[in-house]
Structure formats: C-alpha cells, structure tokens
Amino acid sequence: MREFVYSRADTLKGLPPDATIIAGGTNLVDLMKHEVMTPGKLVDITGTGQDRVECDGDGLRIGTLVRNSDLAAHPDVRRDYPVLTRALLAGASGQLRNMATTGGNLMQRTRCPYFYDTRMACNKRSPGAGCAALGGITRNHAILGTSPHCIATHPSDMAVALLALDAEVEIVGPSPRRVPLAAFHRLPEDTPHLETVLQPGEAIAAVRLPAPVGGIQRYRKVRDRASFAFALVSIAAIAVMDAGRIGRIALAFGGVAHKPWRDRSVENLLIGEVPSPELFSRAADALLSEAEGKGANEFKIPLLRRTLTAVLHEVTEETP
C-alpha cells in the first residue's frame, strides 16, 4: 500500500481539488489495493450529513451518502419508483449494498479486467497506452458507444434505473449546478480516463427524481449467475398505457456501453403505437442499428434484442 494523506470533511463545500473522495469505498479501496488508483490525498465525506431521502416538491432528493440498501427499502421509492428498488436489489451483494452509497455508485469506475491488470495496456489507467481489450477477451465488453480507445462497460444497475427515471445529479463545487444523469457520464471517445463531467473540487451532493409517473416498471438483468455479477445486458423499462396504445415509455440499458445507455429514438418509435411483435422488432432494430461486437461479445447483440422484446411485452401487457 502506498502512503496517502487521509482527512475527514464536515461539508461538501470547499473540497481540495487535488483530493480523491471516499465514502463507502466499495470500489475505490479495491482499486487502491491493486494499485490501479494511487491517490495521494483521500477526503472522507461520510460525516457531511448527506444521508437522507427527502421530499423535493413532487419528487425526491436522495443524498449522496444514502446507502444502496436503505434506498432500495425506502417506502417512497418502493411505492413510486419500483424500478429503482428492483435495480438496486439486483446489484452486487447484500454486504456491498450495505456500504455502497448513491454518489459512490454513480462514481464507480467504468472498467474491465484489463483495467485491473496493471501489466496490460489501458487508456483509462494510462492515457495513450492503448487498449489491451481490443484483440483480447471481450465477452463482457461494450457493443454500443465504443471507441478505438476503450470498450469497457459501466457496471451500475442503479444508474440504469435512474436514467429511465430522468434523474438529475446535484453537484456542489465552485459553481453549484444540476446535470441530467443522461449527460453526467461520458462516452470514451479519445479520453476514456475522463468518465464523468465532474471537475476538480466538485462532488455529488444528491440525486433528484422528478414526480412519479406510475405505469408498469421493470428491471431485467441478464447475467452469468444469480447474484454478485455484472450485467451482460440489463434493461430498466417504464411504460404507461393509454387506451391500448403506448402513451409513455422510458428505456435504459446497462452492460452494453461505457455509460448507462438511452436512445430516445427507440422510445419515440414506440409512443402512440399499439404493442405488437412487429413493433418491438422495429424498436430492437433501431436500438441495435449501430451496435458492434468485438469477437466474444457479439452474442450480446441478439441477447439484447431478445431481452428488449421480452421486457416490452411484459410492461405493455400488464395492468398496474
């Protein structure tokens, strides 16, 4: 273990721009043990009080330190945002959910086995070093939004549900701001080491959810084993039916891109239409029009098609 300076903050304001934030530590501590990340200064924010779920107008404000287990069990979330509860309970293990925080979940590194192996080239660890995954073992890698510099996938289940719920991220720093979750994570392009829009000295204060929309809400996660496994593909779906037609629908996808993925053109194709296998097939065509496999992960393309079709049947046929 390399030496580092550790301090505790009592507020999220005025955090040192050269410090790395730690809360639950479920991802960062692992990376420090492997010396993938070697921060010289750690600031513990667990004493800043941002650990409550509060009413925010018609929606909710979820503090950055709210534990995943507590958020999944919160009565307002279970009642009004069940897709979020389902996604949280599909993630990691009970022990990790008891430690992992809302902000930390969003800030966990987009990664793959080559990122963890410091003997391998990785543009996320060392910009310009190359990507060992390209031409390597790619079974769990991305099929959408990739670049020649990185094909890793974002691991969060929670973020996929929040994306479908149109969440916003409340950021504190020199210039406090709110960012739609859809714009918070970055695609790799030629800077895969830059994973979010956070700037030095900024931190996540909370996640804000808009008023609940009701409807049928589902989270489907396809993985290699029943627990403690990242998604091969996952889908968060919210559908509101109107006289036999799809009045409203939101679809977000995990396990397939460098960030939680949402394609509004797919939703627009579905809105106002009568559900049918033909319609769902067209939606899958639109979603996968630019999908690209890299050898061992090519199976994700038909898997995502089948999973999307099954989820669309489920959310458009049930009655709330």
- Helix and strand numbers, DSSP H then E, in the chain: 12, 11
User: DSSP character for 35?
Assistant: T
Distance CA 109, CA 111 (A): 6
Nearest to 12 by CA among 173, 168, 170: 173
Quick one: pLDDT at residue 319? 64
Partners of 20 in the β-ladder: 42
Residue 320: what pLDDT? Answer: 63
pLDDT at 227: 87
Contacts of residue 159, Cβ cutoff 8 Å, sequence gap at least 6: 105, 106, 181, 185, 254, 260
pTM exceeding the 0.85 threshold for the entire prediction? yes
Could you tell me the two tokens for 157?
């289940």
Pairing of strands 59-63, 203-209: antiparallel
The Cα 228–Cα 91 span in angstroms is 7
Radius of gyration of the chain (CA): 19
Phi-psi category of residue 92: left, alpha or beta, with phi > 0 → left and psi -120 to 50 → alpha: left
Residue with structure tokens 């809360």? 23
Terminal Cα distance for the chain, rounded = 52
Closest-CA residue to 41 (of 192, 168, 281, 201): 201
**Tens digit of each residue's pLDDT, the chain (320 residues):** 689 999 999 999 999 999 999 999 999 999 999 999 999 999 999 999 999 999 999 999 999 999 999 999 999 999 999 999 999 999 999 999 999 999 999 999 999 999 999 999 999 999 999 999 999 999 999 999 999 999 999 999 999 999 999 999 999 999 999 999 999 999 999 999 999 999 999 999 999 999 999 999 999 999 999 888 999 999 999 999 999 999 999 999 999 999 999 999 999 999 999 999 999 999 999 999 999 999 999 999 999 999 999 999 999 996 66
